[in-house]
């Protein structure tokens, strides 16, 4: 599958934070870990992974950092005014950035290829039919 190139500048709900994106989507996935569920208030999160160099964040963000299931630190950045999740970064993959798909205005381009942390997936939360599911991370993937 050819990599998708994104050129967009989504904003948080109040418009205080913008995220200029100009580059290739490296991966698109869903995550059902408990942390993602709490961060989104839903049964799973959907995000696109990009190179940090292809993303410019403008405006003040706050963040929450904790140890993820991988053992690496993950920092989730959000708008301090409206609370919109803006991006995430991990100490394990500092050159990458995780962008929540809900940040984008019209994310019709989003086609997740895998669902991670299916061990904590909720039965009422429907996933796309036929999507690859992994108990934790895809074998060989950075977490």
pLDDT, tens digit, for every residue of 72-88? Answer: 899 999 999 999 999 99
Q: How many CA atoms are closer than 13 Å to the CA of 116, on its beta-carbon side?
A: 20
Q: Which residues of 49-76 are buried (b: 16+ CB within 10 A; e: fewer)?
A: bbeeebbebebebeeeeeebbbeeebbb
Per-residue confidence (pLDDT) for residue 78, from 0 to 100: 97
Mean predicted confidence (pLDDT) in 117-136: 89
The size of the chain, in residues, is: 143
DSSP line for 108-130 = TT----EEE-GGG--TTS---TT
Give the mean pLDDT of the chain.
Answer: 91
Residue 49 scores a pLDDT above 90: yes
For a pLDDT cut of 90, what percent of the chain falls above it? Answer: 68
Residues 6+ apart with CB under 8 A from 66: 35, 73, 74
- pTM (whole model) above 0.95: no
Give residue 143's pLDDT band: very low, low, confident or very high (50, 70, 90): very low
CATH of 21-133, one of 3.90.1590.10, 3.30.70.60, 3.40.190.10, 3.30.470.20: 3.90.1590.10
For a pLDDT cut of 70, what percent of the chain falls above it? Answer: 94
Ordered by start, the domain boundaries in the chain are: 21-133
Residue 32 scores a pLDDT above 80: yes
């Amino acid at each position: 599958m050819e990599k998708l190139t994104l050129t967009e500048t989504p904003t948080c709900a109040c418009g205080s934070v913008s995220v200029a994106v100009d580059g290739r989507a490296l991966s698109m996935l869903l995550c059902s870990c408990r942390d993602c569920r709490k961060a989104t208030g839903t049964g799973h999160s959907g995000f696109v992974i990009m190179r940090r160099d292809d993303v410019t964040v403008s405006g003040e963000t706050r963040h929450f950092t904790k140890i993820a299931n991988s053992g690496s630190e993950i920092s989730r950045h959000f708008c301090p005014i409206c609370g919109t999740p803006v991006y995430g970064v991990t100490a394990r993959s500092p050159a990458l950035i995780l962008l929540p798909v809900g940040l984008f205005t019209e994310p019709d381009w989003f086609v997740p290829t895998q669902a991670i942390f299916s061990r904590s997936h909720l039965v009422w939360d429907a996933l796309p039919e036929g999507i690859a599911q992994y108990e934790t991370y895809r074998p060989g993937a950075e977490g």
